[in-house]
Amino acid sequence: MGTNTFYNMSRWAAFWCKRALLRVVFRSFLLMSIILLSISIMVLSPNLYSVNEAHRPTTVSALVTGRQSINSTLHCAIQNGSLSTFARKYANHYTANDVDFLVAVDIIMKRKWQQNSAFSQVFRNDLRAALGDKGKLDRFILTRQNVRWGDKINFYRHKASARISRQLWQLLPKDTFFKPGIIQRCSVVGSSGILKGSQCGHSIDKADFVFRFNLADVKGYETDVGGKTNFTTLNPSLIMIKYSSLRRKEDRTRFAEALKQFKGSLLFLPAFAFKWRYQMLIQAASVAKKSVGLQPIFGHPDHYTSVANLWQKTINGTRWTTTGLHVLSSILDFCEQIDVYGFWPFPTTLDGRAVSYHYHNDINGTTSHSFGKEFRGLVYLHEQGIIKLHIGSC
Ligand SMILES: *[C@@H]1O[C@H](CO)[C@@H](O)[C@H](O)[C@H]1NC(C)=O
Ligand SMILES: *[C@@H]1O[C@H](CO)[C@@H](O)[C@H](O)[C@H]1NC(C)=O
Ligand SMILES: *[C@@H]1O[C@H](CO)[C@@H](O)[C@H](O)[C@H]1NC(C)=O
Ligand SMILES: *[C@@H]1O[C@H](CO)[C@@H](O)[C@H](O)[C@H]1NC(C)=O
Ligand SMILES: *[C@@H]1O[C@H](CO)[C@@H](O)[C@H](O)[C@H]1NC(C)=O
């Protein structure tokens, strides 16, 4: 970006902030009117906002949840880029109580969603500033541009390192696919059972680039989850459990067979979490490339660390940010518009139907991540018009 553009943007930001502050008075007035109007609506029509009879929300608590959208300081970009400034600005805005939170989610999801370009820009700037150089988009994955053969790489979940071996070097792409602003629409598809019967396949496939996770099957589920895949991740635990760590030829054949439904996709491997799983992931990458022609890509451990530090501080989650949130926060500069499907950490839908952990199998969930806290972060981004979250049917 040229100095001129930057200068213009700063002037634009300053102008915008001043204007935003002037608007506060007007907005407070508007808020009062909205609250009064809502109270009248509630009184006249008590069922309008309720999830079900048992949990009718109190008007104010439900509305107060959305107060941040009228907080004008939120719209002014962070100037000094510190991580703690970001954490304070975007801290969790919702109650920790799931029942009350779901009431708020129901209200938020019923509102008409509109992309907020100005705030998206501010959020993207803030995120970029807080992530710093290590968290830049061009360091999302290892490429022959950002590492050299023989370089030392640190694992992020324990103190250990490895050198970029000849075998790994040969698997690395020459350059990154992830360049700022080159994709218009992205679908990010989680694997929650909330997608079952959603009929979201068509809507998901309309995007230019589709992200999926941990080889979640698409074959046989196209109506609900779509058929297009441009990026899917693979966790080491899946290779260990489902493909016996690829020890026998028969395991590797079965693995290659499962990969066929993702033909043409990138295969993202978090190879630098644990050293003792590193070699197995390199082997998985080789199989994927040789037998199915998938391009393996390896998450850069420094990039993961900066994203994980940021969210640990901001949403007070566990140390280990999920691959879902890692990918989502990495691609805000890659995609202009992001639609999110299949993220739902609760055992029932908003109207009380049971939701399985995955749409494609019947395993039970894990407790090693803070899905509930991460999901609150997604709802917040939806509420602010930065991403569009899809819950339920399309
Ligand atoms: C910059 O960051 C420091 C440390 O978090 C904070 O105390 C200070 O107020 C920030 N300055 C601005 C202008 O935001
Ligand atoms: C607006 O947001 C800032 C920072 O998140 C916070 O310190 C301030 O109290 C908020 N103001 C209102 C009126 O909510
Ligand atoms: C995404 O994948 C589809 C097929 O699954 C392909 O047609 C399309 O070109 C890919 N998009 C990009 C931007 O690579
Ligand atoms: C963060 O989480 C811990 C443990 O869950 C809790 O004790 C602490 O009060 C939380 N901090 C904030 C700022 O929410
Ligand atoms: C999942 O949990 C339920 C209830 O706790 C149990 O009945 C079921 O067998 C579990 N399923 C698997 C695949 O472990």
pLDDT tens per residue across all 394 residues of the chain: 444 544 455 555 555 555 554 555 455 555 656 555 554 544 444 333 333 333 333 333 333 444 444 455 566 777 766 888 899 889 888 998 999 999 999 999 999 999 999 999 999 999 999 999 999 999 999 999 999 999 999 998 889 999 999 999 999 999 999 999 899 999 999 999 999 999 999 999 999 999 999 999 999 999 999 999 999 999 999 999 999 999 999 999 999 999 999 999 999 999 888 888 899 999 999 999 999 999 999 999 999 999 999 998 898 777 778 899 999 999 999 999 999 999 999 999 999 999 999 999 988 877 666 788 899 999 999 999 999 999 989 9
Q: Tell me which residue has its CA closest to atom 3 in ligand 3.
A: 228
- Classify 338 as helix, strand or coil: strand
Cα–Cα distance measured from residue 118 to residue 16, given in angstroms and rounded to the nearest whole number: 9
Å from CA of 310 to ligand 1 middle: 16
Indicate if ligand 3 lies below 6 Å from the C-beta of 208.
Answer: yes
The confidence score (pLDDT) of residue 356 equals 92
Q: Tell me which residue has its CA closest to atom 3 in ligand 2.
A: 73
10 Å Cβ neighbour count for 10? 12
- Classify 246 as helix, strand or coil: helix
Tokens of 115: 């992309």
Cα–Cα distance measured from residue 52 to residue 60, given in angstroms and rounded to the nearest whole number: 18
The confidence score (pLDDT) of residue 241 equals 93
Residue 84 CA, closest ligand 1 atom number = 5
Cα–Cα distance measured from residue 92 to residue 74, given in angstroms and rounded to the nearest whole number: 13
Cα–Cα distance measured from residue 314 to residue 86, given in angstroms and rounded to the nearest whole number: 7
Cα–Cα distance measured from residue 187 to residue 336, given in angstroms and rounded to the nearest whole number: 11
Residue 364 CA, closest ligand 5 atom number = 1
Cα–Cα distance measured from residue 161 to residue 371, given in angstroms and rounded to the nearest whole number: 29
Query: Do residues 340 and 390 make contact, with C-beta atoms less than 8 angstroms apart?
Result: yes
Query: Do residues 246 and 261 make contact, with C-beta atoms less than 8 angstroms apart?
Result: no
Query: Quick one: which of 218, 284, 289 has its CA closest to 251?
Result: 284
Q: Which of 184, 228, 336 to mutate to test ligand 3, by most ligand atoms within 8 A of the CB atom?
A: 228
The confidence score (pLDDT) of residue 14 equals 52
Would you mind telling me the total number of residues written for the chain in this entry? 394
21's CB contacts (< 8 A; 6+ apart) are: 72
308's CB contacts (< 8 A; 6+ apart) are: 156, 319, 320, 321, 326
The confidence score (pLDDT) of residue 80 equals 66
Q: Which residues line ligand 2 (CB under 6 A)?
A: 67, 71, 73-74, 88-89
Q: What is the pTM of this model?
A: 0.80
Helix axis angle for 371-383 and 98-110, nearest 10°, is 30
Tokens of 21: 């502050």
Q: Which of 364, 366, 367 to mutate to test ligand 5, by most ligand atoms within 8 A of the CB atom?
A: 364
Provide φ and ψ at 189, rounded to 5°: -115, 105
Q: Which residues line ligand 5 (CB under 6 A)?
A: 362-364
The confidence score (pLDDT) of residue 20 equals 52
Indicate if ligand 1 lies below 6 Å from the C-beta of 199.
Answer: no
Query: Do residues 145 and 175 make contact, with C-beta atoms less than 8 angstroms apart?
Result: yes
Query: Do residues 205 and 196 make contact, with C-beta atoms less than 8 angstroms apart?
Result: no
Side chain identity at residue 179, one-letter code: K
CATH class belonging to 137-389: alpha beta
pLDDT tens digit sequence for 354-376: 999 999 998 887 766 678 889 99
* Nearest ligand by distance to the CA of 366: 5
pLDDT tens digit sequence for 270-301: 988 888 889 999 999 999 999 999 999 999 99
Enumerate the domain spans of the chain.
2-44, 137-389
Å from CA of 80 to ligand 1 middle: 6
Q: Which of 176, 178, 204, 230 to mutate to test ligand 3, by most ligand atoms within 8 A of the CB atom?
A: 230
